[in-house]
Structure 1
Amino acid sequence: MIVCFDIGGSAIKGAVAQTADSVQPLARRSTPLDDFDAFAATIRDVIDQAGGKPDRIAISITGVVDPETRAIKCANIPCIDGRTLSADLSAFLGLPVLLANDADCFALAEAGAGAGRGHRIVLGVIFGTGVGGGLVVDGRLINADGGFAGEWGHGPTVASVAGTPPVAIPTFDCGCGQRGCVDTVGGARGMERLHQTLHGKTLISEEITTLWQAGDAEATRTIEVLVDLVSSPLALTVNITGATIVPVGGGLANVTPLIAQIDKAVRARILRKFERPLVVPGECRIEPGLIGAAVLGLGGESR
C-alpha cells in the first residue's frame, strides 16, 4: 500500500493506492502556505487516516525539483520553496517520499491508466490557466531526477505573426522571466490576452470558447490565431520526442472541438504522419494528479 497526494496552493488531496486502478480518495485538507511544520503535519494526518503503515509516500505537486540540489521551486506554497522537500518530509514522516511535478504526474497517469496506454512515448500536455507538459518513456518519467523536461510551454518560441490573413502578435512577458513563451498565448489566460489584443475586448476563456462554438466571428479569429501559435511549437516537440500520443489535461481539455483543431494543425506540421488523432483529451478525467502519484509510487521511482 502507498499513500499518494496531489498538492496545490489551495488543497492537499490524499488517497490510498494498491494499484493505479485502485485509488481510494481520503479527506481533502487546506494547504498550509507559510508553516512547514503545519504542512508536514497535515500530510501526516492524512496518512494516519489511511490506516496502517504505507510502504512509501508519493506526491504530485506544483513546482519543479532541481535535479542537482534536490531543492524545489514552488512559488504557490512559500513554506516549501527552496527546501529539499523529499528529504525533509521523509525525515518528518519516517517514510520514503517520492515527488514529481503535477504536469509530470498527469503524463504518468495518462501513460499508465489513460489515453497513453500501449504507447512507448507519451507527451502529456496541459492547457489550463497556462501551458505545461511532461514526458514518459517506457512507463517512466524522462526527468525522473527532476528538472524541466517536457515543459514545452516555456522558451521564446511564439511566432511574430499568425492566422489567415496574418496578424502581428506582440511578444508578451511570461511569468517564468522570459518573453514570447507559448504559455503567454496558449492557456486560458493566453486566450484572453489574444482576444484583447485582436479585438480590444475583455472576455474570460469560457465566454470566448462558447462564442466560438456558436459561430461568433471575433471568437473564431481568436481561436484560429491561438491554434496557429501553439501548433508549431507542439509539433516541434512531437518531432523531437517521438511521442505517438499527446493526451491533454487542464480546463481547456474539456473544449473537445478546440483539442480537435489543435490535433489537426499539429498532425499537418509533423514529420511522421498519423491517420488517427494524435493530440487527444486525457482519459483520466477524475484526479489525474492522484493517479499519476500512484503510478509514481507503485513504480518505485526514486526522486
Structure 2
Amino acid sequence: MATLRFGIDLGGTKIEILGLLVLEDGTNKVVYQKRIATPKGDYHATVQAIAQLVLDAENELKSDSQLNPIINLPGLVGVGIPGAISSKTGKVKNANSTWLIGEDLQGDLQNALSRPVQLANDANCFALSEAVDGAASGSDIVFGVIIGTGCGGGVVVNGQILNGVNAIAGEWGHNPLPWQTASDVALACYCGLNGCNETFLSGSGFEQHFLQRTGLAKTAEQIVALSEQGDVDAEQLMQDYMTWLAKGLASVINILDPDVIVLGGGMSNIERIYREVPKLWHNWVFSDAVDTQLKPPKFGDASGVRGAAWL
C-alpha cells in the first residue's frame, strides 16, 4: 500500500493542505491541495480548521475509485508553523501569529485528529522539502533560507531537521549582520536589538533602507525594477544588498559548511543573486575555496507545505 502524507502550512492569512502520495518505489505525487483563510486571532477555530481540512481531504480521497484501493488511511500529518515548540513547555513560542503563543497546538491537533501529528517551524519545513527531493536533493548538509517579510532559516543534516536544544537552530535572522562598515546603517529590529540580519536582508528591511536613503516608499519589487532600469539609488542598494547577503551567508558557511544553500521568500526571486553573491562570499569565508552551492527552490512557494508532509 502507498503512504498518504498530509502537509499543513499554517500561515497568518491562509492555511494550505497538500496530500502527498508516496508509492512503494519511493516516488511521490501530489493528490490533493486546498487553501482556506486562517481564522486570525482565534486559536480554537484554527485547530478546528486544520482538523477539518485533513478529514475533508481523507473523505474526498476515499471516494476516488482510482486512489482508494492503493492508499493507506488515515494519513500521516505534519504541520509547519510560524514559530517553534518550546522544549521547556511543549507549547508554541516565537510565533508571528501571536494567538498561537503559549498553546499546546500539537496536543490539541492530536486530540482532534486521533493520531500523532508532527510540528516544525515553517523555515525548517522549507529546508526539509528542498533537501528531500528539491534543489538540494542528495546533499548531506542543507541550509534553507527565508528572505521574505522576515528572515529565517532551517538546517537539515542527512535528511533530518536540526532543531537544537532551544528549538532555534538556523534562526540566523537575529544574528547581527557581520563585518559591518560605516555605510551599513543598522536599523532597529522588532526583537529589540539593532542591526540584525533581518533588518538588512528581509524584503521589509530592503524597503526601509531605500526609504531612509531616498525618502521614497517603494515595494521591494519596485526597487528591483528601478535598479534594472538604471536608477542610481536603487542599483546602489541592490549592490549593497548582495554584499550584505554574501556576508550573512559567509558567516553561516564558516559555522555550518553546508553543501547547498537554498533561498526562499520574495527576495529569492531576484535572479542576479545566484550569479553575484557566490562571487562575493569568498571574501569572508575562511577557506581557500568555497564549494557551497547557492540555489533557488525547486518547489517555490509549495516547499513549506511539502516539507510539512515529509515530517
Cα distance, 1:137 vs structure 2: 0.2
Residue identity opposite 1:151 in structure 2: E
CA change 1:120–1:249 in 2 (3 A) is: same
Map of 1:16 onto structure 2? 19
Residue identity opposite 1:128 in structure 2: G
Aligned partner (choices 66, 74, 90) of residue 86 of structure 2: 66
SS where residue 213 of structure 2 aligns?
A: helix
Counterpart CA distance in 1 for 2:159 and 2:227 is: 37
| Aligned partners of 1:64 and 1:146 also within 8 Å | no
Counterpart CA distance in 2 for 1:191 and 1:246 is: 21
Instruction: Calculate the TM-score normalised by the size of structure 2.
Output: 0.86
* Percentage identity across paired residues of the two chains: 32
Map of 2:133 onto structure 1? 113
Counterpart CA distance in 2 for 1:175 and 1:114 is: 32
The unaligned stretches of length 5 or more in structure 1 are: 162-166, 297-303
CA change 1:33–1:105 in 2 (3 A) is: same
* Residue 172 (str. 1) matches residue 187 (str. 2): yes
Map of 1:205 onto structure 2? 220
Counterpart CA distance in 2 for 1:257 and 1:3 is: 35
Superposition RMSD in Å: 2.2
Cα distance, 1:145 vs structure 2: 7.0
Residues 252-267 of structure 1 mapped to structure 2, 5 A cutoff: 252-267=267-282
Residue identity opposite 2:54 in structure 1: I
Residue identity opposite 2:53 in structure 1: V
CA change 1:103–1:65 in 2 (3 A) is: same
Deviations 1:226-281 (A, max 9, x none): 22223222101112111011010111111111332223222443234557672221
CA change 1:196–1:259 in 2 (3 A) is: farther
Aligned partner (choices 95, 99, 104) of residue 84 of structure 1: 104
Deviations 1:77-105 (A, max 9, x none): 34322112112211222110100111111
Cα distance, 1:75 vs structure 2: 4.3
Task: List 4+ stretches of structure 1 deviating above 6 A.
Answer: none
SS where residue 135 of structure 1 aligns?
A: strand
Deviations 1:33-90 (A, max 9, x none): 2333321221122112222542431011211222222211254434322112112211
Map of 2:198 onto structure 1? 183
| Aligned partners of 2:200 and 2:244 also within 8 Å | yes
Counterpart CA distance in 2 for 1:122 and 1:102 is: 15
- Most deviating of 12-21 and 176-185: 12-21
Counterpart CA distance in 2 for 1:146 and 1:29 is: 32
Map of 1:154 onto structure 2? 174
Residue identity opposite 1:24 in structure 2: V
Aligned length: 291
Aligned partner (choices 93, 96, 101) of residue 113 of structure 2: 93
* Residue 282 (str. 1) matches residue 275 (str. 2): no
Residue identity opposite 2:100 in structure 1: I
Map of 2:162 onto structure 1? 142
SS where residue 98 of structure 1 aligns?
A: strand
* Residue 32 (str. 1) matches residue 52 (str. 2): no
CA change 1:10–1:74 in 2 (3 A) is: farther
Cα distance, 1:174 vs structure 2: 0.9
Instruction: Calculate the TM-score normalised by the size of structure 1.
Output: 0.88
| Aligned partners of 2:177 and 2:248 also within 8 Å | yes
| Aligned partners of 1:100 and 1:146 also within 8 Å | no
| Aligned partners of 1:173 and 1:184 also within 8 Å | yes
Cα distance, 1:205 vs structure 2: 0.8
| Aligned partners of 1:62 and 1:101 also within 8 Å | yes
- Most deviating of 207-216 and 150-159: 150-159
Counterpart CA distance in 1 for 2:41 and 2:223 is: 36
